[in-house]
Amino acid sequence: MRIVNGKIAYPRIFVQIACIYARNVLSCLKRDSRRYAVMTPGERIRERRQALGLTVEALAERTGLSPATIYRYEAGDISHMRADKLQPISRALRVAPAWLMGWEDEWPEGLRPLASMKRQAIPLIGEVAAGVPILAEQDYEAWVDADDTLRADYALTVRGDSMAPTYLDGDVLFVREQPDVDNGTVAVVLVDDSASVKHVYHEADGVTLTSDNPAYPPMRFRLSEHDVIRILGVVVGYMRVYKSDPLKGVRKGMAVR
């Protein structure tokens, strides 16, 4: 380096190094902007898992897979993800299967950054009866937006009026998975292969399920008479579509319990 006419003159080699460095920085920035578009399914699993603050063991527990399998997916050791594995992983990570597989290049709206989200996507997995039980669904049908403070694992659509006026036909219930609830809690209960939403009261030999609509009598289920009586989860909130003036469309309201 020397001074010429009061200005600093750099040797050519320094200029060349600076140019190479600048090109490398620009290249890195471009690669970073394309990063999520070229991520492998395993990288997307790891990215989303970490964004949710889940450990590999926690994700394995939610999906029913072994931690070793999750590690292998994230490392890219398993190149083909079967549909029966894709569904539970997508559901646990709260992302669409198409995004997880890379068929959708863009991150779902509102998904990143997770810490600043005002909404979250909850999988809608089917219907639950508020009257006569409906066959429990296993696959999700769509995604619904919910407040990001809501701790829910999935959503169900109410069919029937037995829980009116608390929950109406067409309401979307948000459910947090847990195997037991206190007496009187509104929960989703599976009896054999049918699910319904009711107040739960534990009995020595089974459960009694009650409705909010007085037109529906309590239903008692004995363990000796049914193959399966299981609490699927507790209702933690609901969303209702309020029909208004036809010119103004509809309004959606959500309540958190």
Higher pLDDT, 201 or 77: 201
The residue ranges of every structural domain in the chain are: 2-33, 37-100, 118-256
Give the pLDDT score at 237.
86
Give the pLDDT score at 38.
60
Check if 162 is active-site.
Answer: yes
- Mean pLDDT for the stretch of residues 34-44: 66
Residue 79 has pLDDT above 90, yes or no: no
| Number of helical (H) and strand (E) elements in the chain, helices listed first | 6, 13
Give CA 28 to chain center in angstroms.
32
Q: Judging by DSSP bridges, how do beta strands 154-159 and 119-129 pair with one another?
A: parallel
Q: What is the CATH number of domain 118-256?
A: 2.10.109.10
CA–CA separation, 110 and 121 (whole Å): 8
Fold annotation for 37-100: 434 Repressor (Amino-terminal Domain) (1.10.260)
CA–CA separation, 173 and 184 (whole Å): 17
- Mean pLDDT for the stretch of residues 223-239: 87
Residue 209 has pLDDT above 90, yes or no: yes
Contact 181, 148 (CB under 8 A): no
Choosing from 27, 90, 116, 198, the catalytic residue is 198
Burial code of 194-233, b = ≥16 C-beta within 10 A, e = fewer?
ebbbbbbbeeeebbebbbbbeebeebebeeeeeeebebbb
CA–CA separation, 125 and 19 (whole Å): 55
* pLDDT (tens digit per residue) in 111-160: 443 333 456 788 888 776 555 444 444 456 578 877 777 888 888 888 88
Give the pLDDT score at 219.
94
Q: Which helix (H) or strand (E) holds 243?
A: strand 229-243
The chain-wide mean pLDDT, for the chain, equals 73
Q: In the chain, which residue ranges form alpha helices assigned H by DSSP?
A: 12-33, 41-51, 56-63, 67-75, 83-93, 97-100
- Mean pLDDT for the stretch of residues 7-29: 44
CA–CA separation, 81 and 93 (whole Å): 15
Choosing from 90, 162, 196, 211, the catalytic residue is 162
Give the pLDDT score at 114.
35
